[in-house]
Amino acid sequence: MKTPTTAVKPGLAQRYRDEILPLLKERLRESSIMAVPRLEKVIVNVGIGKIHQNTTLVEFIKENLEKITGQKPAVAPARKSIAGFKVRQGIPSGLRVTLRGKRMLDFVERLVSFALPRVRDFRGLKSRFDGHGSYTLGLSEHIVFPEGIYDTPDKIFGMAITIVTSAKDDEGAKKLLELIGFPFKEE
């Protein structure tokens, strides 16, 4: 007697190899599979600006960012002093995580499957690329990720997520991200 099996949706790595890569090769009319755009890295930035002196809040953000990304964040110091913003060179101005490989694919999958659908009043992503095949989106609340800890309203922080692809132009990068599942608005 056969045991019933439940259909498990394959992970992004397997889906990319089996479905996305051949489809993207056909749509972009590339001659080689090696010429098809790929995800290279994902960078997650959180600005800490004025709160850099509040060590408990900075530690809270670090812990949350580590749970969300699966990797320990690095402290990004200010590169130069700006008197108007009361910023001195060298003081912590943000936290940054660069994801590659399996962690990157897991993060992108959770972003598309869980986080973006949980954004309040979400009507799709704007398709603003940088001209070199990279895409940046901002999230105003970290709690859209299921791993995000929510204590009090003053402990909610936003983040900027940059997806860097090997695409030479924005068209190839957009097609790659659409096939992965990024919900872009029709413009």
CB 183 within 8 A of CB 23: no
pLDDT at 53: 67
Tens digit of each residue's pLDDT (9 = 90 or more) over 2-55:
545 445 467 888 888 889 889 999 988 888 888 899 999 999 999 887 776 677
Task: Assign 29 to helix, strand or coil.
Answer: coil
pLDDT at 154: 67
Average pLDDT value for the chain: 84
Mean pLDDT of 78-95: 76
- Cα→Cα distances 5→2, 14, 145, Å: 9, 19, 29
- For residue 175, give the amino acid letter: K
For 139, phi then psi, to 5°, come to -115, 130
Q: Where do the domains of the chain lie, and which CATH numbers do they carry?
A: 38-180 (3.30.1440.10)
Sort 143 into a burial class: Cβ within 10 Å, 0-12 / 13-18 / 19+: middle
Tens digit of each residue's pLDDT (9 = 90 or more) over 138-182:
988 888 888 877 766 667 888 999 999 999 889 999 999 999 999
Q: Is residue 187 predicted with pLDDT exceeding 90?
A: no
CB 119 within 8 A of CB 139: yes
pTM of the model as a whole: 0.85
Question: Which residue in 30, 35, 43 sits closest to 166, CA to CA?
Answer: 35
Q: Is residue 97 predicted with pLDDT exceeding 70?
A: yes
Tens digit of each residue's pLDDT (9 = 90 or more) over 173-184:
999 999 999 998
Confidence of residue 91 (pLDDT cuts 50, 70, 90): confident
